[in-house]
Chain A
Amino acid sequence: MSNDADASDETLMLGYRNGDAGAFDRLYDRHRGGVYRYLLRHCRDAGLADELFQDVWMNLIRARESYTVQAKFATYLYRIAHNRLMDHFRRRELVAASLDDETAAPVEEPVAPRGAEPHAQADVRQQAARLLQLLDALPLEQREAFVLQQEGGLSIEEIAETTGVTRETAKSRLRYALFKLRQGMQPWQ
C-alpha cells in the first residue's frame, strides 16, 4: 500500500499504524519541512525548534495506535504541533504577551528601493526576506494562521480546527495577516 507514490497521507498513516515503517518514512518526507518551519517561525530559535520538532514526531509515533481517519492528516499533524507549541509557550508564559493583537509588534513601514524601477531592482530574495520580516512582526495567531495555510496547505476550516477556534475567528486572523503582509509588501508591487 505504501509503495504507491500517490498514496494519501491518511493511507500512509494507517499503513504505519498497521506496522509499515516505510509508510512513515514517506509521510515524514512529505511533512518534515513544513512542520519544522511552522515551529521555527514561532519560536525563532533553531535549537528550540529542533527540540519541539522531535517532540511532535515522537508524539505522533506514540499515538499511532489510536490513529483513526477523522480529518485530513495534515490537520492532525499540525494540531499536535500546535499543542506542543502552546505547551511550550504556556511554560514560558509567552502566550499572554502575544494574545492581544493591539500589543503586538507593529508592522514596520517597509523601505522601498529608491532610484530605480521597483520591479527591475527588487530581487526575489530581498522580497522574501522582507516578507519573513513582516511575518515575524505579526501577532502569534495571525502568523500561525498564515503559516498553517502555507506549510500545511490547510483551509480556513482546517486552520480553525487545528488551532481550536471558530471558523470566523480563523478567517479573521488570516485576513488580518494577509492584509498586513500585502500592505508591507506594497513598495515592491
Chain B
Amino acid sequence: MAMTPPESGMDETGNDPRLAALYRAGCDAQQPPAHLDDAIRAAARRAVQAGPRRSNRFRRWSTPLSLAAVIVLSVTVVTMMREEGADRWVADDVRQLPPAPSSGIDTPDRAVVQPAPRTAAPAERRMEAAPSPPAVPAAPAERPQATKKSAPMPAESRVHDSQPAPPPAEMAALGQSAAPAASAAAEDAAREDRAAPAAPAPRALRRSAPAAAVADASRSEESMAAKQAPSMGASALAKARDDALWRDLEQQPAGKWLERLRELRRDGRNEDFARLATEFRRRFPDVTMPDELR
C-alpha cells in the first residue's frame, strides 16, 4: 500500500533544515577527482582560446562549397567517361580501317609499330587533351582536310607541336586515318565524326596503338575513377544532406527543432530523425527531449 504524506508536513519551499544538515554532513566529502577538474578547466580554456567555433563560420559556406565540389566532381567524372567512350570508338574505327595507300611521309609498318610507347602514359595525354574544347565543334567534313593540310590546327595538335619531336609514325598514321575519309571510306569517317565529334584526329592517331593496350589502360582508369568518385563524393553528399536537413533551423529555437523532429517521426523518416535528434542534442543539451520523441 502506498504511503500518503501529510499535506501539512511540508512547507511551500519543501525545505527541512535537519535533513539538509545531515545530508551535507554525509555528502560534502564527495568531490570529483582532481584530474577531472584539470581536464575540464583545460577544455574550457581551450574553447575560449579557440575563439568562436569554426564550424559556425564554416557552416555558412559548407553547403555551397559541398554542392560545388559535388558538381565539379560529377562533371569531371562524366567528361572523363565520355572521353573514354569516344576514344575507344575512334580507336576501334581506326583499327578497322584499311591501310592508307601512301601518304608519302612514312610507311604503314612504322605507323603501326611506333605509337606503342606513347600509350605508356595515357593519363597525361588525357590531361593534355582536356583543356581543348575548341576542337570539339570541328566540322565532320573539315576534319580530315584539316589534318591533311595542318592549316587550322586544332589546339591539341598545337600542343603536340610544341613537344620536342613529332614522331614520324604519327604523321604516317595521320595520313592513314585521313586518307580514307577522302576516299571510299568517307562513310566510315562520317560515321566516326557523328559518333565521336569530340575526338579530334591527333587523339585518333594516338589511339591507333595496339587496341588491347589502350583498352586495358582505359579500363583501369575507369575502374580507378569509379572507385574514387563515390568515396570522395559520399562524405560531401552526406554533409550536404545533413546541412539541408537543418539549414532552415539554424537560427531557430529548440521548439522549432522539436516540431521538425515530430514531423520526421510522423513521416517515418527514421534515419533523418536520428540525425536531426543527434544534432538537436548537440545544440541544445539543456533541453529535455519530449517523451514521444525518445
Please list the residues of chain A having a beta carbon within 8 angstroms of any beta carbon in chain B. Answer: 16, 19-21, 24-25, 28, 32-33, 36-37, 40-41, 50, 53-54, 57-66, 76, 79-80, 82-84, 86-87, 90, 101-102, 124-125, 127-129, 131-132, 135, 149-150, 155-156, 163-164, 171, 174-176, 178-183, 185
A87 to B282, CA, bound (A): 13
B44 interfacial by beta-carbon distance below 8 Å: yes
Please list the residues of chain B having a beta carbon within 8 angstroms of any beta carbon in chain A. Answer: 2-3, 5-7, 9-10, 12-16, 18-20, 22-28, 30-33, 36-37, 39-41, 43-45, 47-49, 51-53, 56, 281-290, 294
Q: Known contacts A33-B28, A65-B56, A128-B25: does B3 contact A179 (CB below 8 Å)?
A: yes
Q: Is the CB of A185 within 8 A of B23?
A: no
A-B pairs, top 9 by smallest CB distance, nearest first, are A128-B26, A179-B5, A59-B285, A164-B288, A128-B25, A36-B32, A24-B44, A21-B48, A174-B14
Q: Known contacts A50-B32, A65-B56: does B44 contact A21 (CB below 8 Å)?
A: yes
Instruction: List the B residue with the shortest CB-CB distance to A57.
Output: B40
Q: Known contacts A102-B2, A128-B26, A171-B14: does B19 contact A178 (CB below 8 Å)?
A: yes
A84 to B39, CA, bound (A): 19
**Number of inter-chain CB pairs below 8 Å:** 147
A24 to B30, CA, bound (A): 21
Cβ 8 A contact of A156, one of B13, B18, B289:
B13
Q: Is the CB of A54 within 8 A of B41?
A: no
Which residues from chain A contact B19 at a C-beta distance below 8 Å?
A: 131, 178, 181-182, 185
A-B pairs with beta carbons under 8 Å apart, 22 shown: A21-B45, A21-B49, A28-B44, A54-B40, A61-B43, A66-B283, A80-B286, A83-B281, A101-B2, A102-B2, A125-B26, A131-B23, A131-B26, A135-B23, A150-B20, A150-B24, A156-B14, A178-B5, A178-B19, A179-B6, A179-B9, A185-B19
A65 to B50, CA, bound (A): 12
Q: Is the CB of A149 within 8 A of B15?
A: yes
User: Closest CB of chain B to A177's CB: distance in Å?
Assistant: 9
Which residues from chain B contact A101 at a C-beta distance below 8 Å?
A: 2
Q: Known contacts A25-B41, A32-B37: does B27 contact A60 (CB below 8 Å)?
A: no
Q: Is the CB of A182 within 8 A of B23?
A: no
Q: Is the CB of A63 within 8 A of B56?
A: no
Q: Is the CB of B44 within 8 A of A16?
A: yes
A61 to B19, CA, bound (A): 33
Q: Is the CB of A25 within 8 A of B44?
A: yes
Which residues from chain A contact B2 at a C-beta distance below 8 Å?
A: 101-102
A53 to B6, CA, bound (A): 36
Instruction: List the B residue with the shortest CB-CB distance to A66.
Output: B283
Q: A20-B48, A125-B25, A182-B19 are in contact. List 17 more A-B contacts (CB 8 A).
A: A21-B48, A50-B32, A53-B32, A53-B36, A60-B285, A65-B53, A125-B26, A132-B23, A150-B23, A156-B13, A171-B14, A174-B14, A176-B3, A178-B10, A179-B3, A185-B18, A185-B19
